[in-house]
Structure 1
Amino acid sequence: MSNSKIPKVGNRTTLAPSISSFLKHNPSLHLGGANAFTDERRHHTEVFGIHSLPKEKVHPIHEVEFTAIRGPHGTIPVRVLYPKSGEEKRKKGEAAALVYFHGGGYTVGSVDEFENGLRQLAEESAVQIYAVDYRLAPEFAHPVQLDEYDAIISWLDSSGGKSRGISPSLICGGGDSAGGNMTAALCLRRQDHKLPPLAAQILLYPEARLPFDTPAASENNSGLYLECNGIFSFADHYLPRGIPPAHRYISPGMQEIKDLKGQPKSVVCTAGFDPLRDVGVEYARKLEEAGNVVIWRHFDRLTHGWLQMGAWSDEAENAIKELAGEVKKVVYG
């Protein structure tokens, strides 16, 4: 018998009207569409970039720091979002840090396109967010990105975190979509390498494995922003030759339950109108069955990418607010 209250697959109800309207107004905005990924990179920056948003839609934040560290594969740019709500903790050296790896199929995206949603998340959770412009595939394949993730964590665990008021016991990792995949993979890899575990992992509509056999992959195949069949080309960009797709650090969601024991506390969010919905639900369930603490939140009216859609959708903003509440609870208790 399963000891998990999380279902095997998710559901969808009615697409939120604000999301429906956003998709109608941006008919050529796809992730994993038929166009070249270079076109998608440009188009995403044009639509979601914080510089493109109307001023009144930009979330206030106490302070933004642009910095960088030397990583194992070159310089890694990092954008630090300091929330006003976290200033007391920062002064006392008791602040939490969330290292954030954005989505985009390992191939598309930059921190500019995620900053607005992450500002809201930072202010409402009192957690400092370290949003990383990691190297993208296909120019750079696995494990370059995981190496960069580890480099940022090491930096925060030492001089970088100390000077910014971070408690070493409150360093978390998070990401959406492909960033959720890399976060889950990094937690497994750190466990295998006997490195200190993260305080928590925050997985937003994660690509826990390839969705070739799920109801969501059929129901939400096309026309809902993330094109399901495009996920396979993204995986091809990320996956070096010679590493099987079922590998622990490529498809955390394909691992057996016994091999997922001892993971950090997890917040897993899924969306009803997302082709990745069911692989995210499945991973949350497996983590819980393995005895881990899991908070699962399902948004049955939203689509993939809602973290970026707050400027156009109150429903998306409300989901970010709910996420922030869970992050605050998991991190600060």
Structure 2
Amino acid sequence: MALIYLINSWPVEEWTTAMRRQAPDLDIRTWPDAGRLEDITYAMAWLPPANVLKSLPNLKLIFSLGAGVDAILKDPTLPDDVPLARIAEPDLTMRMSEYVVLQVLLHHRQQRRHDENQRHRRWEPFPERSASAVSVGVMGLGVLGTDAAQKLKLLGFKVAGWSRSRKSIPGIDCFAGPQEFDSFLERTDILVCLLPHTPETTGIINRDLIAKLSRKGPLGAPVIINAGRGKQQVEGDILAALDSGALHAASLDVFATEPLPESSPFWLHPKVTVTPHAAADSDPEMITAYVLRQIRRHQQGLSVENIVDRKRGY
């Protein structure tokens, strides 16, 4: 029995070192130095090369090392008969909530305006409203979205959430399905996207969505925060809305092309906060501990948690 790491965009040594320290009994391998392919029963993957997973005849379980699973599902050679598990680790969840709260507060408390005044040595107090005057809407009420919504509620914001299927979260106004989407948008001053990337969510943040957001909030125009996936946003529509005033501001952690090209207008746009897909960075030690618990469950014949429904994409 062996475990292989299929990672082409992160330093694999950090991950293998963490696993060897926590599970010295496991046979740890990395691609392409895989040894006998017949030995491999577990795969830890992020953007795996095509045909590799399919080439492992005794593979029993695949773990996606990121918060989402789209980087695995887009592999056209992904074997149909091997379960794919996603990561639902409390540290990752907390990191995402930290990012969401940080960005909501940045816009709510108008921190960019304070920063601009500081650069110009300008002492300019200005009115700021309470959190209870702001309606935040969270798209996606999985583990990450639910926790972020609850943290925002604790700060006093009026919080609602929208998801594909009906959810019930104490203190959160929950909307569900396409029939309730417009009502959710109409009451939202600050929109947070934590949706998984699926064919249905591709391009969901577009000019039509922006036009349906609330203009009744303290900032006079809505704000978009996207920490989901870059393919969910139509970047030209966001830029046009920022320039026209249809959007007050945007915080973007994900982009259609990553790394974000130096030529992108997002870098220097005065209404945009750019972060490098770092909202919920995967910590090797914490994620390894989570995956190892799942491997031990599998070895004991117990069910593995958070198996992905491939038809739904999450």
Q: With structure 2 as the length reference, what TM-score do the two structures score?
A: 0.38
Q: Which has the higher contact order (CA 8 A, sep 6+)?
A: 1
Q: Which structure is higher in helix share? A: 1
TM-score under structure 1 length normalisation:
0.37
Structure number with bigger Rg: 2
